[in-house]
Structure 1
Amino acid sequence: MRVDLHNHTIYCNHASGSMDEYIQKALKCGIDIFGFSCHAPMNFDSKYRMDCATLPIYLKKIKDLQRLYSPLPTQYIDKIHNKIEILSALEVDYILGREDLILKQVLEAKVDYLIGSVHFLDEWGFDNPEFIGEWAKRGIKNTWEHYLDSLQNMAKTQYFQIVGHIDLPKIFGKRMPRDLETKMEETLQILYDNNMVIEINAAGLRKAIQEQYPSRNILEKIKEIGLDITLGSDAHSIEQIGYGYDVCINLIKDIGFDKIAIFRNKEKILLNI
């Protein structure tokens, strides 16, 4: 079963290609279950996300595609396109101390799942090349500590089903210091205790780090703790759909994973890989 649950759309203002084209590419990649998870509205960093007025348009477009392509038996299906299950989702930014920025409209949206991601520490977009100079001011260890604190508190809100790109701060090659491994393990345990699923995100293979999120050693700890996993391209363009999929699948199989999680109406379902 080929699953890809993290994909963006033109509605987030920094992706290209139509949603129809994304589905066509997913079909060519042999993907069975495909999720749209565009950046959710928020009264912050509006340049890189949809606004509230666009949210119903985005969700309606997904419903239209579901009717066209859904593999489930229904009178609305065009049988020619009966090949792929399409899920609806949002990627929601979590900023420690600014939980008020998460909109009720987003939390109550009729979607299959929410991906909780940390891209910001205070107002610093640490994964944005435009602000890479801030790393020198804050330091690698302090940044990672702040990031892990953010993940822990994000999990405790219980707002989200999936945690996105769990070791994202390594994006520019600034790996987590070894003396924070215990804190990472504590973070994984908190994620487990709050029923979150870990995303294996292929975007890192396209970045300077040239490695999926998370790294193998973290994946091994994820397996040991018993967290469930899922897969996502984090595609922002048509050519990125399915990128690195086989690399990620082979890695998780080698570690010993044999199930992958999806969500329907925020209910977790485990499928054979």
Structure 2
Amino acid sequence: MHSHHSHSGDYCAHGADPLNSMIDRVVQLGFHTYCLTEHIPRLESKFIYPEELELGDTSDEIITSLETSFKNFLSHAREIKARYAATPEVRTRFIIGTEIESCDMDHIKYAKRVMTENSGILQFCVGSVHHVNGIPIDFDQEQWHNSLHSLNDNFRLFLLSYFHSQYEMLTNVKPLVVGHFDLFKLFLPSGMLVDPKTGLCDKEAGVPIASLDVINQWPDVYDAVVRNLQFIDSYGGTIEINTSALRKGLEEPYPGKAVCDLVKKHCGSRFVLSDDAHGVAQVGVCYGKVKKYIVDVLQLKYLYYLEEGVPPQKVPSVRKLPISQFVNDPFWANI
């Protein structure tokens, strides 16, 4: 069993528990592969989250604190990796990565520099988008709406901005794992009324957004998604099935079936699994539910995972696991 995306209370302001406690749970559950992927720091004060304000008295102090925390993560992760590499009786092997912050082009360039400067430790990155038009879309409902308002309350334009930002990140970074592909849906109000032709949101007219397949509703949005997936396919990247959406109350994980069908068609059906855990209770979260999604809904023949390369190879290899082995993994007896 695998997870390619995780955070902890030691190095993430919205994390819940120490990294060592999470690792204890990972080992207890019998994961095969678990990836440590704390966020690369942000550079500008406008991208500081409210939960991070207590990290310093000024924005410069907060940014310095984030940078120091990331350096501490790299050291800690390397220690964990070495510890369990020398413990053959433990099944789990750890791969060190990071989740990049693609707030804007400056952050993308910074992420590339951090990856290069720490290439002896960082083995891959999870490529994600958390902002639309410079405003976070996964922090709370208010910020999500602020982002939509900044694009003239047009949900079609909102989606296009999201997928264009994703494409900019993809083409510059080529992340081996693409994180929560359709994160925009986290705070999407199911009752929001939208014009099905233009995408304009109106409190008085339109149809409920929940009645639309928003990926296939607008040709330019569909084309943007396909473009992104085809580019990911061109360099051998993977799409994570991220169970955090299920623990947050959504009906489907990231990505939903509409996107997954396009991954199967345009990206070699290369899915990897992630819990995106931020605390002990979230390790392996909703894996029972996602197994049914993978087997019964998506009907995948294989699930993919990262395997550490043999030196001097630094980048992990993408391996595939037959679904028959996935469903019979000894992990399932532990959850």
TM-score relative to the length of structure 2: 0.72
Q: SS at the partner of 2:245?
A: helix
Shift of 1:26: 1.5
1:205-238 CA-partner distances (Å, limit 9, x unpaired): 1224342000012112211221422111111111
134, 141, 145: which one pairs with 1:133? 145
123, 126, 129: which one pairs with 1:118? 129
Structure 1 or 2, whichever has the larger Rg, is: 2
Alignment of 1:154 with 2:198, yes or no, is no
Q: SS at the partner of 1:94?
A: coil
Q: SS at the partner of 2:43?
A: coil
Bigger mean CA offset, 4-13 vs 89-98: 89-98
Q: SS at the partner of 2:292?
A: helix
Which residue of structure 2 aligns with residue 7 of structure 1?
6
In 1, Cα distance between equivalents of 2:128 and 2:229? 14
Which residue of structure 1 aligns with residue 292 of structure 2?
250
Alignment of 1:85 with 2:84, yes or no, is no
Whether contact under 8 Å (1:161, 1:196) holds in the other structure is: yes
Which residue of structure 2 aligns with residue 239 of structure 1?
281
In 2, Cα distance between equivalents of 1:269 and 1:153? 23
Instruction: Evaluate the alpha carbon distance shift between residue 96 and residue 56 of structure 1 in structure 2; reply closer, same or farther with a 3 A threshold.
Output: closer
In 2, Cα distance between equivalents of 1:124 and 1:101? 19
Q: SS at the partner of 2:239?
A: strand
The one-letter amino acid paired with 2:13 is N
Whether contact under 8 Å (2:35, 2:97) holds in the other structure is: yes
Shift of 1:65: 1.6
The one-letter amino acid paired with 1:231 is L
Whether contact under 8 Å (1:201, 1:232) holds in the other structure is: yes
263, 274, 296: which one pairs with 1:222? 263
Q: SS at the partner of 1:38?
A: coil
The one-letter amino acid paired with 2:229 is L
In 1, Cα distance between equivalents of 2:21 and 2:187? 30
Which residue of structure 2 aligns with residue 73 of structure 1?
none
1:145-198 CA-partner distances (Å, limit 9, x unpaired): 001111222211134211110000011235735213333222211221233211
Q: SS at the partner of 2:281?
A: helix
The one-letter amino acid paired with 1:90 is T
Residues 66-215 of structure 1 aligned to structure 2 (within 5 Å): 66-70=81-85, 77-78=86-87, 82-98=90-106, 99-102=108-111, 104-109=113-118, 110-129=121-140, 130-137=142-149, 138=151, 139-173=154-188, 176=214, 178-179=217-218, 180-215=221-256
In 1, Cα distance between equivalents of 2:265 and 2:69? 41
The one-letter amino acid paired with 1:5 is H
Alignment of 1:260 with 2:300, yes or no, is no
Whether contact under 8 Å (1:223, 1:257) holds in the other structure is: no
Bigger mean CA offset, 204-213 vs 138-147: 204-213
Q: Gaps spanning 5+ residues in structure 2: where?
A: 53-62, 190-208, 309-313, 327-335
Whether contact under 8 Å (1:41, 1:103) holds in the other structure is: no
Which residue of structure 2 aligns with residue 16 of structure 1?
16
In 2, Cα distance between equivalents of 1:120 and 1:36? 22
Q: SS at the partner of 1:12?
A: coil
Q: Gaps spanning 5+ residues in structure 1: where?
A: 71-76
| RMSD of aligned residue pairs (Cα, Å) | 2.3
72, 92, 98: which one pairs with 1:57? 72
In 2, Cα distance between equivalents of 1:15 and 1:187? 30
Whether contact under 8 Å (1:185, 1:221) holds in the other structure is: yes
Q: SS at the partner of 2:250?
A: coil
Whether contact under 8 Å (1:3, 1:31) holds in the other structure is: yes
TM-score relative to the length of structure 1: 0.87
